[in-house]
Amino acid sequence: MPCDVKVGPSDLDVDRRAAEADLRDLRDRLLTSAPLTAAIMIIVWFLQPRGLLPLNVTLWLGLALATVVQFYPGWRFIKGAVRAFRNSTANMDTLVALGTLTAYAYSLLYALHLVGGEPFLDSGPAVITLILLGRWLEAKVRLRASSGVRELAKLVPSRARVIADGGEVIMGIGEVKPGHRVMVKAGEGIPVDGIVDEGSGYVDESAMTGEPAPRLRKPGDVVLAGTRLLNGYLVIRATRVGEFSLIAQVARLAKEAQAARLPIQSMVDKVSAYFTWVIIGVAVATLAAWLSLKAPLYVAVLHMASVLVVACPCALGLATPMSIMVGVDRATQEGVLVRNGEALEKLSKIRVMAFDKTGTLTEGNPRVVKAFINDDALALAASAEYPSNHPIARAVVQYAESLKVKATKVEEFNQLEGMGVVAVVNGRNVGVGNAKLVEGMEAKLSPREEQLARDIEAEGYTPIFVVIDGEVKGVLAIGDPPRAEAAEVVNEVRRLGLHISLLTGDSEGSALGVAKALGIGEVHANLMPDDKARVVRELKAKYGAVAMVGDGINDAVALNEADVGVAMGTGSDIAKEAGDVILVSGRLRSILTLLRLSKLVVNNIKFNIAYAFAYNLILVPVAVGLIPGLTLRPELAGLAMALSSLTVTMNAYSIKLRRV
The residues annotated with a catalytic role in the active site are 356
Q: Which residues contact 17 (CB under 8 A, 6 or more apart)?
A: none
**Side chain identity, residue 448:** R
Q: Among 128, 118, 73, which residue's Cα sits nearest to residue 98? A: 128
Pair 632, 310: CB distance under 8 Å: yes
**Side chain identity, residue 403:** L
Query: How is residue 325 annotated by DSSP?
Result: H
Cα distance between residue 460 and residue 370, in whole Å:
12
Cα distance between residue 52 and residue 46, in whole Å:
8
Query: How is residue 243 annotated by DSSP?
Result: G
Q: Which residues contact 166 (CB under 8 A, 6 or more apart)?
A: none
**Side chain identity, residue 532:** K
Provide the pairing of β-strand 367-373 with 462-468: unpaired
Specify which residues 414 forms β-bridges with.
422
Environment class of 639 (CB within 10 Å of its CB; exposed 0-12, middle 13-18, buried 19+): buried
DSSP 183-225: EEETTPBP-SEEEEEEEEEEEE-HHHH---S-EEE-TT-EE-T
Cα distance between residue 113 and residue 107, in whole Å:
10
Cα distance between residue 227 and residue 206, in whole Å:
8
Give Rg (Cα) of the chain. 33
Burial 90-121 (b: 16+ CB within 10 A, else e): bbbbbbbbbbbbbbbebbbebbeeebeeebbb
**Side chain identity, residue 621:** P
Distance of CA 308 to CAs 32, 34, 528, 618, Å? 24, 21, 61, 14
Task: Give CA 168 to chain center in angstroms.
Answer: 39
Cα distance between residue 323 and residue 327, in whole Å:
6
Query: ∠ CA 305-306-308 to the nearest 5 degrees?
Result: 65
Q: Which residues contact 312 (CB under 8 A, 6 or more apart)?
A: 92, 95, 96, 131, 641
3-state secondary structure of 506: coil
User: SS3 for 596-657, per residue?
Assistant: HHHHHHHHHHHHHHHHHHHHHHHHHHHHHCCCCCCCCCHHHHHHHHHHHHHHHHHHHHHHHC
**Side chain identity, residue 538:** E
Cα distance between residue 653 and residue 647, in whole Å:
10
Pair 349, 545: CB distance under 8 Å: yes
Phi/psi of residue 146, nearest 5 degrees? -100, 15
Query: ∠ CA 145-146-151 to the nearest 5 degrees?
Result: 120
Specify which residues 641 forms β-bridges with.
none
